[in-house]
Structure 1
Amino acid sequence: MATGTNITLTDGANAGDGLVVFVFTQNTPTVTSVTPNSGPVAGGDLVTITGTDLTGSTVDFGGVPATGVTCTATSCTVSTPAHAAGTVDVRVTTPGGTSPVTAADQYTYLPPPAADIDVNLTAQPHLGILVPYLTYTLTAHNTGPSAVTSATLTATLPAGATATGLSAGCTVASTTVTCTYGPIANATSVNKTFQVPLHLLSLGHVTVTGTRTASAPADPNPANDTASATCTVISILLATCP
């Protein structure tokens, strides 16, 4: 009933017309749960907020307005806005006020997954008159925090060198060995090996460099994406690899 509406009261001798003013007070809304209570920093997650007196609410996540807000008296469905990583309070506002901050209204923005691959390369000589060679082990060690879903490491050989005896998932083209790696759990490693045959032209220093060229999720630390191993070949019967 709108303010200022005339009504007629019938009560015996007091019957007649009069003006009655109704004052409506809307309760302050409350938030009792947020489901799900975590999601990506990019936003866009569909979230259901439950509580009381939510009709006509606007909703914000840490002060950033949500979009696609649809509310009933006891629940709101919203799309989360983008926000920096961390935990924020989800608050609803109506003409009755803004919901108080409680532990039940918290939502955590999760940083995007990242997996740091630490590249390691070692060498071991296998000498003899017939088929002398150096064996290289190219290691992808996942230092986390997330699991690696895929990775590609390459090894650059000296000019004129080639590779044989490659592990599954490795190929060679000219002086480049390319190895692909499947899933690597946090704090674990996967090794790939290949051999570099020696000949008289190999005398001297033989340096091979391994490099991470691609991986998923993103690698946050490029400082450990490269490793080298150098062997000193004195003859096909004598070589040292530190």
Structure 2
Amino acid sequence: MARLTLALPASAYASTAVTSVSATTVRPGDTLDIALTGTSEVDFVAETSIVVAADSALGALPAFTTLVSCTDPAMRPCTNEGTYYNAPLTAADELVFTGATAGRTLSLRINDDAPAGTFTLVTVYSQFMGGSALDAPVTGPTITIVRDTPQADVAVAVHGSDALLFKQFIVTATTTNNGPATATGVVTTTQLPAHTSHVTGLPANCAFDDPANKVTCTQASLAPGQRVSVPFTAYLALLTLGHFTITTTRTASSPLDPNPANDTASIQCTAVTTLLVHC
């Protein structure tokens, strides 16, 4: 994509400056605030404005940003001119004197499909008095657009209920997608004690591996913020006694899970008598 070139005279009608930007690194969806000032160096009865463009291989500034707002509604509205934004500094036909300074803040949203790369802001002071007069462009600062690798933080939890009869107790394994992206291919396993005889109440997306004493569940996808709980009943061999641990683990998901600290959860249970289980 061709870079934007501004062929402008090096005149001395006025000066412009980008006094500040809200960030020099932005991501798709972010809002970039650009504070602008312009100072006239001659007397005009004119419409004055600052042209805001970009010098970038990414193309024209409006190609990858969207105008959100422009401060000071008493001035003429800011506009998208196709290859640049125009930020007026006066009301129409307002008298502008030498040394007069005005400013506005232009807010631009980085488009969701904006590519990664850099662009340098280019500002030009424009005055109109029977014809356009453009001052020399001022460049800077440079802004970087970053597109992060998608991530989905999948967290697990496990709970158990007490059993008063036949060494049966209910286990609930919960999977939560903390986002920000949708998680796909989510696989969790719940490791049960060695003396588990069988399991009932499993949904179709879960299976019990008897030799391994393990329940494996799969979720095709989990939206950001979505939580899925799977309760099932586990049965222990009748003569089982003592302490045991139940552990649920995230074993697979996509995209990258950035937080391994919540990939495993455990509870401690005790077979108190030949019939009673306490968790």
User: Normalising TM by the smaller chain, what interval?
Assistant: 0.5 to 0.7
Whose RCO is larger (CA < 8 A, sep 6+)?
Answer: 2
Specify the code of the residue in structure 2 equivalent to 1:33: L
Is the Cα contact below 8 Å between 2:195 and 2:237 reproduced in 1?
A: no
Structure whose alpha-carbon radius of gyration is higher: 1
Is the Cα contact below 8 Å between 1:37 and 1:108 reproduced in 2?
A: no
Name the CA distance, whole Å, in 1 between partners of 2:265 and 2:225.
19
C-alpha deviation, 1:35, in angstroms: 2.8
Are the structure 2 counterparts of residues 90 and 180 from structure 1 closer, same or farther at C-alpha, using a change threshold of 3 Å?
Answer: farther
Q: TM-score, normalised by structure 2?
A: 0.50
Residue in structure 2 matched with residue 110 of structure 1 by the alignment: 147
C-alpha deviation, 1:182, in angstroms: 3.4
Name the CA distance, whole Å, in 2 between partners of 1:201 and 1:216.
42
**Aligned residue runs from structure 1 range 51-90, under 5 A:** 51=83, 88-89=118-119
Name the CA distance, whole Å, in 2 between partners of 1:51 and 1:238.
75
Q: How many residues align?
A: 166
Helix, strand or coil: the match of 2:208? strand
2:181 counterpart (146, 150, 163):
146
1:122 equivalenced with 2:102 (yes/no):
no
C-alpha deviation, 1:144, in angstroms: 2.1
Helix, strand or coil: the match of 1:163? strand
Specify the code of the residue in structure 2 equivalent to 1:133: Q
Residue in structure 2 matched with residue 198 of structure 1 by the alignment: 236
Helix, strand or coil: the match of 2:139? coil
Is the Cα contact below 8 Å between 1:143 and 1:187 reproduced in 2?
A: yes
Residue in structure 2 matched with residue 35 of structure 1 by the alignment: 63
Name the CA distance, whole Å, in 2 between partners of 1:228 and 1:116.
18
Residue in structure 2 matched with residue 209 of structure 1 by the alignment: 247
Are the structure 2 counterparts of residues 153 and 215 from structure 1 closer, same or farther at C-alpha, using a change threshold of 3 Å?
Answer: same
Is the Cα contact below 8 Å between 2:156 and 2:249 reproduced in 1?
A: yes
Name the CA distance, whole Å, in 2 between partners of 1:207 and 1:225.
16
Render the CA deviation track for 1:117-176: whole Å, top value 9, x for unaligned: 221010113332xx4411111111222222323311011122242433212311122212
Are the structure 2 counterparts of residues 204 and 150 from structure 1 closer, same or farther at C-alpha, using a change threshold of 3 Å?
Answer: same
Specify the code of the residue in structure 2 equivalent to 1:166: L
Name the CA distance, whole Å, in 2 between partners of 1:33 and 1:109.
16
1:100 equivalenced with 2:139 (yes/no):
yes
1:159 counterpart (188, 194, 197):
194
Residue in structure 1 matched with residue 171 of structure 2 by the alignment: 136
Are the structure 2 counterparts of residues 238 and 110 from structure 1 closer, same or farther at C-alpha, using a change threshold of 3 Å?
Answer: same
Name the CA distance, whole Å, in 1 between partners of 2:255 and 2:115.
23
C-alpha deviation, 1:215, in angstroms: 0.9
Is the Cα contact below 8 Å between 1:163 and 1:172 reproduced in 2?
A: yes
Name the CA distance, whole Å, in 2 between partners of 1:172 and 1:139.
16
Residue in structure 1 matched with residue 216 of structure 2 by the alignment: 178
Please, which runs of 5 or more residues in structure 2 have no aligned partner? 1-5, 9-52, 55-59, 67-81, 85-113, 123-135
Name the CA distance, whole Å, in 1 between partners of 2:115 and 2:221.
31
C-alpha deviation, 1:81, in angstroms: 8.2
Helix, strand or coil: the match of 2:172? strand
Helix, strand or coil: the match of 1:35? helix
Helix, strand or coil: the match of 2:199? coil
C-alpha deviation, 1:236, in angstroms: 4.1
1:230 equivalenced with 2:268 (yes/no):
yes
C-alpha deviation, 1:106, in angstroms: 5.9
Helix, strand or coil: the match of 1:223? helix
1:218 counterpart (247, 251, 256):
256
Specify the code of the residue in structure 2 equivalent to 1:114: Q
Specify the code of the residue in structure 1 equivalent to 2:208: V
Q: TM-score, normalised by structure 1?
A: 0.57
Is the Cα contact below 8 Å between 1:138 and 1:210 reproduced in 2?
A: yes
Is the Cα contact below 8 Å between 1:125 and 1:134 reproduced in 2?
A: yes
Please, which runs of 5 or more residues in structure 1 have no aligned partner? 1-25, 39-49, 53-79
Is the Cα contact below 8 Å between 1:127 and 1:238 reproduced in 2?
A: yes
Is the Cα contact below 8 Å between 1:117 and 1:143 reproduced in 2?
A: yes
